[in-house]
Amino acid sequence: MEEITIQEFDFALINEFFTELERQGPGSSEETIRALGFIGNLSNKAKIADLGCGTGFQTMVLAQNTEATITALDIYAGSIDKLNATAGKLGLQNRVKGIVGSMDNLPFQNDEFDLIWSEGAIANIGFEKGLNHWKGFLKKDGYIAVTYESWFTDERPAEIEKWWVDAVPEIGTIGYNISIMQKTGYIPVAAFTLPESCWIDNYFIPQKARQEQFLKKHAGNKTVEDMISFMRREADLYSKYKQYYGYVFYIGKKI
Ligand code: SAM
């Protein structure tokens, strides 16, 4: 039987759930800053695109740790409204602009960006497809930095294999993903795995209170109950199988 995937739940409900949380995927400020450390100096002339930015947790970290101008793009307008409000509160509105759009049809100029960033989002259009499409918007010698679900071992138990192949059909090992990076025209600069705390402390634990709240708000709604069960299963599977997979930060330089 086909396993249901998170994308199959109602888009509005998923976003209503996640936009109240600080992050919509695993990650941390420390790891964003660590990835930024592999990229050359970004002056006040530099331009960054943050794709699948969500409510912009990592966007603000990028803004606070560079002098660059950042365009953050997400398909969900509610997240973009929140991102622009946060940028305003932090006094970053002159350098950070959130826009609604789709990352497989970017509204940018060729060779526009010094850096394209994307945490936890490239799987929505596919790793290879995303790397290929986004390259055109990067300047020569520009950088790409993405986090992407990856296998840590060549083999893994069938239960977790099935879960991830249903969710991200082209999921591969770190070595395979680096080879895709090379094939699509980037020099691999670094790849490092996100620590467990990025999943547990910053993703699964903050979901718990929100899940209770959401079940109360939508009492009797079967779709919501199924969505929360799915999220709880995702967390259980992570604690059972975390030695087999995780998010990896891939950093490359356009040739
Ligand atoms: N980068 C944020 C973070 O790490 O907290 C959000 C990651 S969340 C797992 C994935 C994001 O990708 C969501 O905000 C979702 O709305 C966005 N997304 C999904 N498909 C998209 C598309 N085709 N174009 C732009 N954004 C998309």
Closest residue to atom 23 of ligand 1, CA basis: 102
Q: Which helix (H) or strand (E) holds 95?
A: none
| Residue among 23, 24, 51, 147 to mutate when testing ligand 1 (max atoms within 8 A of CB) | 24
Structure-token match 């695109």, residue found: 49
CB 239 within 8 A of CB 137: no
Query: For position 40, what pLDDT does the model report?
Result: 84
Q: What's the pLDDT at 8?
A: 63
Probe ligand 1: pick from 59, 60, 70, 74, max atoms within 8 Å of CB?
A: 74
Distance 116 CA to ligand 1 centre (A): 14
Residue 7, pLDDT score: 60
For residues 188 and 178, the answer to whether their CB atoms sit within 8 Å is: yes
Helix, strand, coil % in the chain, rounded to nearest 5? 45, 20, 35
Distances (CA, A) of 98 to 28, 53, 73, 135: 20, 9, 6, 21
CA–CA gap between residue 161 and residue 159 (Å, rounded): 6
Place of tokens 């087999």: 244
Q: What is the CA radius of gyration of the chain?
A: 18
Q: Which residues line ligand 1 (CB under 6 A)?
A: 23-25, 27, 52-54, 57-58, 74-76, 79, 102-104, 119-121, 124-125
Full DSSP string of 152-170: SSS---HHHHHHHHHHSTT
In order along its 255 residues, the chain shows pLDDT tens digits of: 445 566 667 888 999 999 999 999 999 999 999 999 999 889 999 999 999 999 999 999 999 999 999 999 999 999 999 999 999 999 999 999 999 999 999 999 999 999 999 999 999 999 999 999 999 999 999 999 999 999 999 999 999 999 999 999 999 999 999 999 999 999 999 999 999 999 999 999 999 999 999 999 999 999 999 999 999 999 999 999 999 999 999 999 999
Domain boundary assignment for the chain: 26-196+244-254
Q: Which atom of ligand 1 is nearest to the CA of 15?
A: 16
What is the CA(25)–ligand 1 centre distance, in A? 9
Apex CA 229: angle with CA 100 and CA 164, to 5°?
Answer: 70
Q: Residue 39: what are its φ and ψ, rounded to 5°?
A: -110, 140
- The CATH class of 26-196+244-254 is alpha beta
In this prediction, residue 1 carries a pLDDT of 44
State the Cα–Cα distance between residues 99 and 114, nearest whole angstrom.
18
Q: Distance between CA atoms of 31 and 241, rounded to whole angstroms?
A: 22
Residue 79: how many other CB atoms lie within 10 Å? 22
Residue 90 C-alpha to ligand 1 middle, in angstroms? 22
Q: In this structure, which residue's CA is closest to atom 19 in ligand 1?
A: 124
Q: How far is the CA of 223 from the centre of ligand 1 (A)?
A: 21
pLDDT at 12: 87
State yes or no: ipTM above 0.95: yes
Quick one: which of 132, 117, 138 has its CA closest to 73? 117
Which atom of ligand 1 is least distant from the CA of 79? 14
CA of 123 to the centre of ligand 1 (A): 9
